[in-house]
Amino acid sequence: MIIKASRRQFLRTSSVALAAGIFGRPLMAAATRESARVVVGAHPWVYAATMPNYDITPKLDEIFADMKYAGMEGIELIHSALRPDDAVDRIGKLSEKHTLPIIGTSFGGTMWDRRQGEAAVEDAALVIPRLAKL
């Protein structure tokens, strides 16, 4: 439990510090205008880095809870989370439960390698329509 609390504290603190450091005054100015709003989202690489094949699927519940706790307003997925047949339903329910929209996905296809290019295109053809449903 201490580890989870520490990770959540890190997420909350670092997200605010990162946003302030990167965007500085322009972000503050934009945030004060009623017509402009900056959405702060996150990518779950820190979770994927320790998972086999970087697959975050087993940790999706934890990821959504942590991101919401940290004050994020959206999640950019890792494409492997969109591969399971139940991905749209499962991720959609988590997105709704935590009021965190899916703002995109990263994609790690090896399209530069002719031997693997076709498989990468097939993988993209699988995950992109699923992403669009979210």
Does any domain span residue 126?
yes
pLDDT of residue 2: 44
> Distance (Å, rounded) from C-alpha 9 to C-alpha 12?
5
Does any domain span residue 83?
yes
pLDDT of residue 35: 57
pLDDT of residue 37: 67
Residue 107's CB is within 10 A of a number of other CB atoms, namely 17
> Distance (Å, rounded) from C-alpha 32 to C-alpha 54?
38
Number of domains composing the chain: 1
Segment (H or E) for 77: strand 74-78
pLDDT of residue 1: 40
Does any domain span residue 15?
no
Give residue 116's domain range.
38-133
Does any domain span residue 8?
no
Does any domain span residue 33?
no
**Residue 13: strand, helix, or coil:** helix
Output the tens digit of pLDDT for each of the chain's 134 residues: 444 456 665 555 555 555 555 445 555 555 555 556 667 789 999 999 999 988 999 999 999 999 999 999 999 999 999 999 999 999 999 999 999 999 999 988 787 888 888 898 899 999 999 999 99
> Distance (Å, rounded) from C-alpha 83 to C-alpha 11?
26
pLDDT of residue 59: 96
Does any domain span residue 14?
no
Q: How far is CA 111 from the centre of its chain?
A: 22
Beginning with the edge strand found earlier in the chain, give each strand of the sheet holding 41-42 in spatial order. 41-42, 74-78, 102-106
Does any domain span residue 56?
yes
In this structure, what token pair is assigned to residue 73? 């307003």
